[in-house]
Amino acid sequence: MKEVLTLKEAIARSGLTSGMRISFHHHLRLGDRVVGLVLDLLQEMHFADLTLCVSSIMGEACEAVLRAVKAGVVTRIETTGMKSPLSEAVLNNEVPHPVVFRTHGGRARAIEEGQTPVDVAFIAASAADRQGNLNGTSGPNPFGSMGYAHADAEYAGYVIAITDFLSEEPLAYQSIKAKLVDVLVKVDSIGESEQVGGGSLRVSQNPTEHLIAERTLAVMQAAGTLKPGFNYQAGSGGISLLVTNLLEQYMKQHALQGGFASGGITGTLVRMAKEGLFHTLWDVQSFDGEAALSVAENSFHKEMSASLYANPNNPACIAHQLDVMVLSATEVDLDFNVNSVSGTDGRILGALGGGPDTAYGAKLTIVVLPSFRGRIPMINKEVNLICTPGRDVDVVVTERGIAVNPNREDLLKALKQANLKPIAIEELMMRIHALTGEPVLPGKEGSVVAVVEDRYGKKLSPLYSSLDTQD
Amino acid sequence: MRSWLYTPANTPSRMINAGIYGSDGVVFDLEDSIAPDQKDEARFLLEEMLGVIKADLQRQGIGIHIAVRINGLDTAWWQADLSACLHAGVQLVRVPKVESQADVHRISAYLDQLEAELKLPQGTTKIQALLETPLAVEHAFLIAASSARIVAFSFGAEDYCAALGLRRKEASLALDYPRSRIASAAAAFGLEAYDSVWGFLDDQAGLIEDAKRSRSLGFCGKSVIHPNQINVINEVFSFSAQEIEEAKRIVEAVKLTSSGVLAEQGRMVDKPVVLWARRVLEGRTQ
């Protein structure tokens, strides 16, 4: 039997002291209340100078982290992404040390290798049994896979599991085993599972995004990717989700059966697997309620750790077995470098996620984005922040043209043969800038407020303070 | 032309992308989608943006027809609309609620005047007449005959149904008559005929059924109100691969015979069938 403590008792028991590193996962996405619960208590308990190592920061967690930053409880942040208002605070130099942006695979690697030793992991679970086994699929607030928390559970010095559902029976489905958990904490609520599907998971009605999705499917066809057994992943943006919907129709029409689909798993992918369109779903994060329940119910639906998903040092890495990856972006440059964290204006808008991991691993990486948002062009001479190096990107699809990386002559030929009329990325940029004008790029002279690491932990690209560059 | 996408002329973000979705034409709308207090603004925007839109489409290699739906003759705005159109280089206007020859003569006279002022060749500006009332339907032949500026008819089923006290979705039978009459009058003068929009965006099956019905009654295309309707409409109003193959066989067979009539795969092929085959190969559904 695992001891059930209050959160305060568990923190006291953990040996946590100021200056240490704590971790969280973000599977509850916009519905997460655990981050706020813990950080507010740490402030009450007068902790300071903590490093926050989190798989991503969304919704109310952003406000909670900002409160902790302002109180000096948290002074360092390591994440794959963040949103407002925390993102503005970062740009305004309010976080004492530069934020480190890591990919999902890079985070798992960093924890496993000891680059980022986690002292105390706070792991939200939708259910725990008395022995300390955890899952994200039972209880009143299921969120599905606990993929990002596996490395934390395995490698953290002390593991505090936080749940709002304590099962007297052993859990039939166990994501994290009791032997990895030190104590259990029962709280009234870990959050709201209805908000798991929030964030970047809207199904778009935007006709421009539909057009880009149609072209993306056409690129996959032309490239010869859509063959029996092909392995597929799409990111969390609206266009990527539309591509999956179109792919479902295509696969049905052509009686095509794929191999696996991976990454963030949606109800659409669950339906496709049930219909035999994919053999296996490898789920690091369940993107909606249907997927959250399916992971425990369907044998084709496998929960995977972030390490299995995308750790570059993991020989079984799923991301390296992808045939095609559809990747969203906030910005692309003439060298095909992709920015998925900040906008052309320097504001932090998105996340690294597993994009750089999957782009590296996939045989065909398709970046999808509209030509411009508002009046801000999305293809420019240089990106503000390099998140995915251009060498890992094969083709960029927009509503105003398709550009193929010159190092993929085979793909260029295939798209020409399919009459998809690929153009040089310089021509694509010119078409866009003719409408929007050339953007004024943020300066690069101010203090560094964030750094993007590559998958192996090497510094790839810095982000500069907006305070230092604005007039 | 198979598909015409309506786009409000007061929304730059929609206007700039209107031509990229694959429709054969775009109709920038100054009429129903623009509130009365925004007419001036929309007209100004149209004048400012049209050059930018055309240049953007040209850069993308997209050839598309552009029309503007002006306000009706019963409003205070139609003359200003026409003036803005001609100043912006528009050569095709869609005129709503045309009911008679007199309506066409009135518009034509004003166009004559504007073209003279702008030193444009007389008759440059063409008209798509939007027939939306029972009276317009009854006058379709006369309207078609009234001016060389008329190049097409467009049917407005919503207003027509309203005039008969019918709801659109329950009026499929009642719409057969005006559709047939409009398509026939258009064909008599070599005009194209475009069917009314299908306003039920979530009912794709209804859209397909409605479009197939209008094609079977002689229309060559349809207006649409959302880009997501374009692919379906283009498909319905295109010849199938089977039809094209059949047309090729017929035209080839005709080349090999000196007789006016021949048999092809058990079917008598005479002049009308040959005409049909030639139209198929020209890509004309009407």
pLDDT reported for residue A467: 53
Rounded-to-integer distance, Cα B68 and Cα B93, Å: 5
Q: Verify whether the Cβ–Cβ distance B228 to A400 is below 8 Å.
A: no
pLDDT (tens digit, 9 = 90+) per residue, A131-166?
Answer: 999 999 999 999 999 999 999 999 999 999 999 999
**Domain map of chain A by residue range?**
4-197, 207-441
- Tell me the C-alpha to C-alpha distance, in Å, between residue B111 and each of B50, B78, B90: 19, 11, 12
The beta-carbon neighbor of A400 closest among B21, B55, B60 is B60
- Reported as a pLDDT band with limits 50, 70 and 90, residue A470 is very low
HSE, CB side, 13 Å, CA atoms: give it for residue A261.
31
Mean pLDDT, chain A, whole residue set:
95
The beta-carbon neighbor of A207 closest among B55, B56, B226 is B226
Q: How far is B51 from chain A (nearest CA, A)?
A: 11
pLDDT reported for residue B263: 75
Return the structure tokens found at B28. 């920038």
Q: How far is A428 from chain B (nearest CA, A)?
A: 9
Average pLDDT over residues A266-276: 96
pLDDT reported for residue B277: 86
- pLDDT value at A85 more than 80: yes
Q: How far is A268 from chain B (nearest CA, A)?
A: 19
Q: How far is B56 from chain A (nearest CA, A)?
A: 7
Nearest CA in chain B to A428: B60
Contacts of B190 (CB under 8 A, 6+ apart): none
Q: Verify whether the Cβ–Cβ distance A210 to B227 is below 8 Å.
A: yes
Q: How far is B151 from chain A (nearest CA, A)?
A: 30
Neighbours of A6 (CB within 10 A): 12
pLDDT reported for residue B188: 97
Q: By mean pLDDT, which of A248-262, A341-355, A383-397, B208-222 is the weakest?
A: A341-355
pLDDT reported for residue A217: 98
Q: Verify whether the Cβ–Cβ distance B228 to A207 is below 8 Å.
A: yes
Q: Verify whether the Cβ–Cβ distance A210 to B228 is below 8 Å.
A: yes
**Within B74-190, where are the H helices?**
78-87, 101-117, 134-138, 140-145, 157-163, 172-188
B17 contacts on A by Cβ (under 8 Å): 207-208, 399
According to CATH, what is the number of the domain A207-441?
Answer: 3.40.1080.10
Nearest CA in chain A to B22: A211
pLDDT (tens digit, 9 = 90+) per residue, B183-229?
Answer: 999 999 999 999 999 999 999 999 999 999 999 999 999 999 999 99
ipTM beyond cut 0.85 = no
Residue of A223, A221, A131, A217 whose CA lies nearest to A177: A131
According to CATH, what is the number of the domain B3-236?
Answer: 3.20.20.60
Nearest CA in chain B to A432: B56
Return the structure tokens found at A449. 């407020």
- pLDDT value at A325 more than 60: yes
Residue A96, preceding bond cis, omega within 30 degrees? no
Class of domain A4-197: alpha beta
Where in chain B do CATH 3.20.20.60 domains reside?
A: 3-236
Probe site for chain B from A209, A402, A435, A436 (most B CB atoms < 10 A): A435
